């Protein structure tokens, strides 16, 4: 018998039929003798509908009121799932975030969880009742309802699992696990049985949008074993957990990529201290997020300073950079938005030299030119031309033996 | 400067345009220097939609979960109205029932208000903030959200007015006040400027469905002046208040009627103690509500026992009565469902003799046969054939000088 927190997203709760399907899944775990706490999102589309209503009446209204309205989406689905479970003969009880109590800070629409009162939930579990908790919301210090921001239901699930010291937090989505890469790009992509929190963070932030980053950080911090599974297809899913010895066998866990980046190069900048700050300061002030940053030491007393931003921010970032370039006496600014970032991710590479060079060699073998390189302990990222994305992913997937039945380095 | 509680119903909140209209009404009171607390219903149709969803998944689910779901309707409208007020430059803050705090008992779906914490609302008023409170809901002793039952928003308005010792509780509806009778039956019906709580109770329970009975009882008990006004047409509405000397000038305030009644007579019952209980006991046990009850002393040692029930209950009540009649050795049971009840209501009749006979004379003058009579301190009701309803109402309306510009007795 285990204590399991299960989180079902908006697609899983999208209709009465789907809610009944989720009900049967929950019931089957209860029948197996497990204690289950369920966390649910609003029906897919409902939060958007509510916010549209709110912004229709006042586009610049206070975020507290937006939260008052948006938080009703989950309040409906918790009630519906509790009713479905009752009908199925499973005792259940729904809780809004404030009812649990899930305490948050006062940052409406992007609140952070401060603490969770586990008492009611544990008492229910002991009494054979399945608590059904609204994701995405909690109670601010002044008693108002606050939402955690979009996708916050994953975080609610993990935070509750941490508070209850649950054996596992299961996140049910419409994919059946975490893959070595996007199966739409490489059909031979393979579902991973296990992946570490760190790897998952790199995979998520690099574009494999299976889980909310914050929930993975949270799970890693509180050491909550996290499992990603499909609501609609049975299977073991992917377990996201702490590193263990067995994992070190695999050099690379997966290949992530991001298509929405753009590259800016401030060329011929006088090579003196403070250059990076001079260029990136105004970019940050304009609320533009910078991803990769590369600076080469120049030969002629100048240097090329290159960084990537979200494609939507390119124009704004280019304007700012051009102004800064003039002030610095740089030669000019080059921009490119037909680029993508491809990353190898794996905790195994920490203890193995040569992963980067093996990667560059494979790409060279496919005649793919690398425009930018950035590395971390468990990741090597390259920027290449967008037209080579699929080729690069497939080449690397093969080179590192990630395919179905492929070699394990 | 007055402290006013305003309650707006579902029709008034039925669309973003209507919410903006309500916003302008509230704002105009604030601009006049009043302190305003607003209570709102869900958008019209929304509570039904939510309950249909809930019953679709489990028609026999627990009422706590129905309330969890149904209470979201008001949570959306309070947020929307607060946003509209903000946009209009009026400081506002929305509160659910639990947030206020409005404490109720545990009777989910028909909870009763136990107490209201006035502190937050008064503090807001003092700070120039308009609190916008969800009607129809509160928090049960175990922390669950409970609803007051349909129409409970009126009661919320009155209860808040009582807790705040407000100068007036204004109930905005789609009619512009309480009329001497239904204007669809008598076009000369006149809006009343004032009516007492007792009269309003008789008017409401007799079929003039302007206000929820419970809210009128509540207002009378706590002496909260209640005003019924139209959201859509400006005007003074009707003030429902305590009796004052001026009121005694008017004998009759209005004429109410009920079309959904049916009449049952147990004829020739042996006239002995316990007859009423013997007949009505089994009716009550079957959860059938009885309205009028009349028993005549008979000449031959038997009596005719007559009562009225809701038309929907006639068949069931007739079956029960027939069985009881046999046991009692009565002559038989007669049923009629083509009847209506017409009532004269007025506190003035307490101190004036002859109202009843004046009423019977007027009806006789129009050749309307009276089948049954029942009187109370401030009401005379007669049962007549349904086909005479309009004629009876108009005849009495004229006879008692209720029409526009009519005489005041």
Placement of tokens 């992530």 in the chain = A256
Separation between Cα atoms, residue B123 and residue B118, nearest integer Å: 8
Separation between Cα atoms, residue A160 and residue A165, nearest integer Å: 8
Nearest to A179 by CA among A238, A246, A118, A226: A238
Contact A179, A192 (CB under 8 A): yes
Separation between Cα atoms, residue B233 and residue B176, nearest integer Å: 7
* Mutate: best of B13, B14, B17, B57, partner A, most A CBs <10 A: B57
Q: Is residue B396 part of a domain?
A: no
Structure tokens at B94: 């929305």
Nearest Cα of chain A lies from the Cα of B32 at a distance, in angstroms, of 24
Residues of A in contact with B109 (CB under 8 A): none
Structure tokens at A141: 């210090």
Q: Is residue B132 part of a domain?
A: yes
Q: What is the CA radius of gyration of chain A?
A: 24
Q: Is residue A96 part of a domain?
A: yes
Q: Is residue B211 part of a domain?
A: no
Q: Please indicate whether, in this complex, the C-beta atoms of A16 and B99 are within 8 angstroms of each other.
A: no
Q: Please indicate whether, in this complex, the C-beta atoms of B68 and A20 are within 8 angstroms of each other.
A: no
Q: Please indicate whether, in this complex, the C-beta atoms of A68 and B96 are within 8 angstroms of each other.
A: yes
Kindly give, in sequence order, each residue whose CB lies less than 8 Å from that of residue B174, ignoring residues fewer than 6 positions away.
Answer: B9, B11, B12, B230, B231, B232
Nearest Cα of chain B lies from the Cα of A81 at a distance, in angstroms, of 8
How many Cα atoms sit within 13 Å of B206 on the Cβ side?
Answer: 28
Q: What is the CA radius of gyration of chain B?
A: 24
Separation between Cα atoms, residue A189 and residue A255, nearest integer Å: 10
pLDDT at A68: 98
Nearest to B39 by CA among B161, B200, B204: B161
* Mutate: best of A40, A47, A83, A140, partner B, most B CBs <10 A: A83
Q: Please indicate whether, in this complex, the C-beta atoms of B16 and A61 are within 8 angstroms of each other.
A: no
Q: Please indicate whether, in this complex, the C-beta atoms of B79 and A65 are within 8 angstroms of each other.
A: yes
Separation between Cα atoms, residue A289 and residue A280, nearest integer Å: 10
Residues of A in contact with B50 (CB under 8 A): 76
Q: pTM value?
A: 0.83
In tens digits, what is the pLDDT along chain A, a chain of 409 residues? 899 999 999 999 999 999 999 999 999 999 999 999 999 999 999 999 999 999 999 999 999 999 999 999 999 999 999 999 999 999 999 999 999 999 999 999 999 999 999 999 999 999 999 999 999 999 999 999 999 976 689 999 999 999 999 999 999 998 899 999 988 899 999 999 999 998 998 887 665 667 888 888 889 999 999 999 999 999 999 999 987 766 546 678 899 998 889 999 999 888 887 888 889 999 988 888 888 888 877 678 888 889 999 999 999 999 999 999 999 999 999 999 999 999 999 988 877 778 888 899 999 999 999 988 888 888 999 999 999 999 999 999 999 999 865 444 4
Write the residue in A50, A57, A87 that is nearest to B16 by C-beta. A57
Instruction: Determine the residue of chain A that is closest to B134 in CA distance.
Output: A68
Residue B385, beta-bridge partner list: B339
Q: Please indicate whether, in this complex, the C-beta atoms of B76 and A99 are within 8 angstroms of each other.
A: no
Tell me whether residue B63 is annotated as binding. no
Cβ atoms within 10 A of the Cβ of A370, count? 16
Q: Please indicate whether, in this complex, the C-beta atoms of B84 and A58 are within 8 angstroms of each other.
A: yes
Nearest Cα of chain B lies from the Cα of A61 at a distance, in angstroms, of 6
Judged by a CB distance cut-off of 8 A, whether residue B79 touches chain A is yes
In tens digits, what is the pLDDT along chain B, a chain of 409 residues? 899 999 999 999 999 999 999 999 999 999 999 999 999 999 999 999 999 999 999 999 999 999 999 999 999 999 999 999 999 999 999 999 999 999 999 999 999 999 999 999 999 999 999 999 999 999 999 999 999 976 689 999 999 999 999 999 999 998 899 999 988 899 999 999 999 998 998 887 665 667 888 888 889 999 999 999 999 999 999 999 987 766 546 678 899 998 889 999 999 888 877 888 889 999 989 888 888 888 877 678 888 889 999 999 999 999 999 999 999 999 999 999 999 999 999 988 877 778 888 899 999 999 999 988 888 888 999 999 999 999 999 999 999 999 865 444 4
Separation between Cα atoms, residue A3 and residue A164, nearest integer Å: 8
Tell me whether residue B8 is annotated as binding. yes
Write the residue in A76, A84, A143 that is nearest to B99 by C-beta. A143
| A–B CB contacts, 8 A cutoff, strictly below | 107
Instruction: Determine the residue of chain B that is closest to A100 in CA distance.
Output: B143
* C-alpha torsion sign, points A153, A155, A159, A161: positive
The interaxial angle of helices A152-164 and A119-126, nearest 10 deg, is 70
Separation between Cα atoms, residue B71 and residue B147, nearest integer Å: 7
Distances (CA, A) of A268 to A319, A367, A370, B9: 17, 28, 20, 69
How many Cα atoms sit within 13 Å of B262 on the Cβ side?
Answer: 17
* Mutate: best of A47, A57, A90, partner B, most B CBs <10 A: A57
Q: Which residues of A95-127 are buried (b: 16+ CB within 10 A; e: fewer)?
A: bbbbbbbbbbeeebbebbbeebebebbbebbee
Nearest Cα of chain A lies from the Cα of B100 at a distance, in angstroms, of 9
DSSP for residue B203: H
Q: Please indicate whether, in this complex, the C-beta atoms of B143 and A20 are within 8 angstroms of each other.
A: no
pLDDT at B339: 94
Judged by a CB distance cut-off of 8 A, whether residue B403 touches chain A is no
Separation between Cα atoms, residue B384 and residue B220, nearest integer Å: 31
Where do the H-state alpha helices sit in B223-354? 275-285, 314-328
pLDDT at B407: 45
Nearest to A68 by CA among B73, B348, B321: B73
Write the residue in A68, A71, A82 that is nearest to B65 by C-beta. A82
Instruction: Determine the residue of chain A that is closest to B133 in CA distance.
Output: A68
Separation between Cα atoms, residue B120 and residue A231, nearest integer Å: 44
Query: What is the SS3 assignment for B341?
Result: strand
* C-alpha torsion sign, points A179, A182, A184, A188: negative
Nearest Cα of chain A lies from the Cα of B367 at a distance, in angstroms, of 58
pLDDT at A208: 60
Q: Please indicate whether, in this complex, the C-beta atoms of A86 and B58 are within 8 angstroms of each other.
A: yes
B35-40 vs B130-134, strand pairing mode = parallel
Separation between Cα atoms, residue A187 and residue A190, nearest integer Å: 9
Nearest Cα of chain B lies from the Cα of A153 at a distance, in angstroms, of 19
By CB neighbour count within 10 A (0-12 exposed, 13-18 middle, 19+ buried), where does A171 fall?
buried
* Mutate: best of B79, B95, B109, B144, partner A, most A CBs <10 A: B79
Contacts 24+ apart (CB under 8 A), A375-379: A376/A202, A377/A349, A377/A350, A378/A198, A378/A199, A378/A202, A378/A345, A378/A346, A378/A347, A378/A349, A378/A350, A379/A202, A379/A206, A379/A343, A379/A344, A379/A345, A379/A349
End-to-end CA distance of chain A: 37
Separation between Cα atoms, residue B184 and residue A211, nearest integer Å: 61
How many domains does the structure of chain B reveal? 1
Residue A257, beta-bridge partner list: A342
Q: Is residue A378 part of a domain?
A: no
Separation between Cα atoms, residue A54 and residue B240, nearest integer Å: 36
Separation between Cα atoms, residue B24 and residue B12, nearest integer Å: 12
B137-139 vs B145-147, strand pairing mode = antiparallel
Kindly give, in sequence order, each residue whose CB lies less than 8 Å from that of residue A68, ignoring residues fewer than 6 positions away.
Answer: A144, A145, B75, B78, B79, B82, B94, B96
By CB neighbour count within 10 A (0-12 exposed, 13-18 middle, 19+ buried), where does B56 fall?
exposed
Separation between Cα atoms, residue B390 and residue A392, nearest integer Å: 86
Separation between Cα atoms, residue B269 and residue B286, nearest integer Å: 22
Instruction: Determine the residue of chain A that is closest to B62 in CA distance.
Output: A83
Q: Which domain holds residue A144?
A: 3-173
Q: Please indicate whether, in this complex, the C-beta atoms of A79 and B69 are within 8 angstroms of each other.
A: yes
Q: Which residues of B310-327 are buried (b: 16+ CB within 10 A; e: fewer)?
A: ebebbeebbebbeebbee
Tell me whether residue B180 is annotated as binding. no
Separation between Cα atoms, residue A246 and residue A226, nearest integer Å: 18
Judged by a CB distance cut-off of 8 A, whether residue B65 touches chain A is yes
Judged by a CB distance cut-off of 8 A, whether residue A48 touches chain B is no
Instruction: Determine the residue of chain A that is closest to B47 in CA distance.
Output: A76
Judged by a CB distance cut-off of 8 A, whether residue A141 touches chain B is no
Nearest Cα of chain A lies from the Cα of B134 at a distance, in angstroms, of 11
Cβ atoms within 10 A of the Cβ of B268, count? 19
CATH code of residue A109: 3.40.1160.10
Tell me whether residue B308 is annotated as binding. no
Nearest Cα of chain A lies from the Cα of B80 at a distance, in angstroms, of 6
Nearest Cα of chain A lies from the Cα of B15 at a distance, in angstroms, of 10
Separation between Cα atoms, residue B20 and residue A57, nearest integer Å: 8
Instruction: Determine the residue of chain B that is closest to A81 in CA distance.
Output: B57
Q: Which residues of A are annotated as a binding site?
A: 7-10, 47, 74, 173-174, 179, 184, 209-210
Judged by CB atoms within 8 Å, which residues 316-345 of B form the interface with A?
Answer: none
Judged by a CB distance cut-off of 8 A, whether residue B140 touches chain A is no
Q: Which residues of A are annotated as a binding site for ATP?
A: 7-10, 173-174, 179, 184, 209-210
Q: What is the 3-state secondary structure (H, E, C) of B134-164?
A: ECCEEECCCCCEEECCCCHHHHHHHHHHHHH
Q: Please indicate whether, in this complex, the C-beta atoms of A86 and B61 are within 8 angstroms of each other.
A: yes
Q: Is residue B8 part of a domain?
A: yes
pLDDT at A408: 45
* Mutate: best of A23, A59, A65, partner B, most B CBs <10 A: A65
Q: Is residue A55 part of a domain?
A: yes
Q: Please indicate whether, in this complex, the C-beta atoms of A87 and B50 are within 8 angstroms of each other.
A: no
Q: Which residues of B333-343 are buried (b: 16+ CB within 10 A; e: fewer)?
A: beebeebbbbb
Judged by a CB distance cut-off of 8 A, whether residue B48 touches chain A is no
How many Cα atoms sit within 13 Å of B209 on the Cβ side?
Answer: 4
Separation between Cα atoms, residue B386 and residue A12, nearest integer Å: 55
Q: Is residue B187 part of a domain?
A: no
Q: Please indicate whether, in this complex, the C-beta atoms of B16 and A53 are within 8 angstroms of each other.
A: yes
Q: Please indicate whether, in this complex, the C-beta atoms of B83 and A96 are within 8 angstroms of each other.
A: no
End-to-end CA distance of chain B: 36
Residues of A in contact with B145 (CB under 8 A): 96, 99
pLDDT at A211: 80
pLDDT at A409: 40
Contact B357, B375 (CB under 8 A): no
């Amino acid at each position: 018998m285990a204590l399991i927190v299960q989180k079902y997203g908006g697609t899983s709760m999208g209709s009465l039929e789907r809610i009944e399907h989720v009900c049967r899944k929950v019931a089957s775990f209860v029948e197996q003798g497990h204690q289950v706490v369920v966390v649910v999102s609003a029906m897919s589309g409902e939060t958007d509908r509510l916010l549209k209503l709110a912004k229709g009446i006042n586009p610049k209204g206070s975020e507290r009121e937006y939260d008052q309205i948006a938080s009703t989406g989950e309040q409906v689905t918790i009630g519906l799932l509790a009713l479905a479970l009752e009908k199925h003969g499973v005792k259940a009880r729904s809780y809004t975030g404030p009812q649990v109590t899930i305490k948050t800070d006062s940052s409406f629409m992007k609140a952070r969880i401060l603490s969770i009162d586990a008492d009611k939930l544990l008492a229910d579990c002991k009494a054979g009742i399945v608590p059904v908790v609204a994701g995405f919301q909690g109670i601010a210090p002044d008693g108002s309802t606050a939402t955690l921001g979009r996708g916050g239901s994953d975080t609610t699930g993990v935070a509750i699992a941490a508070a209850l010291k649950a054996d596992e937090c299961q996140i049910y989505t419409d994919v059946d696990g975490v893959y070595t890469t996007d199966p739409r790009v490489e059909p031979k992509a393979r579902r991973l049985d296990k992946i570490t929190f760190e790897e998952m963070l790199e995979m998520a932030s690099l574009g494999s949008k299976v889980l909310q980053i914050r929930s993975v950080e949270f799970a890693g911090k509180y050491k909550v074993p996290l499992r990603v599974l499909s609501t609609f297809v049975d299977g073991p899913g992917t377990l996201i957990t702490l590193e263990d010895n067995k994992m070190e066998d695999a050099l690379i866990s997966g290949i992530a990529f991001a298509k929405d980046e753009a590259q800016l190069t401030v060329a011929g900048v006088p090579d003196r201290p403070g250059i990076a700050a001079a260029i990136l300061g105004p970019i940050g002030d304009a609320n533009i997020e910078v991803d990769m940053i590369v600076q080469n030491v120049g030969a002629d007393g100048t240097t090329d300073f290159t960084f990537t931003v979200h494609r939507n921010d390119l124009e704004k970032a280019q304007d700012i950079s051009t102004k800064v370039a003039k002030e610095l006496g740089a030669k000019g600014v080059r921009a490119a938005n037909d680029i993508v970032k491809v990353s190898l991710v794996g905790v195994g590479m920490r203890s193995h030299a040569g992963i980067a060079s093996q990667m560059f060699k494979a790409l060279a073998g496919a005649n793919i030119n690398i425009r930018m390189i950035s590395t971390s302990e468990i990741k090597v990222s390259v920027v290449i031309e967008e037209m080579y994305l699929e080729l690069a992913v497939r080449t690397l997937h093969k080179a590192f033996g990630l395919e179905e039945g492929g070699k394990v380095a």
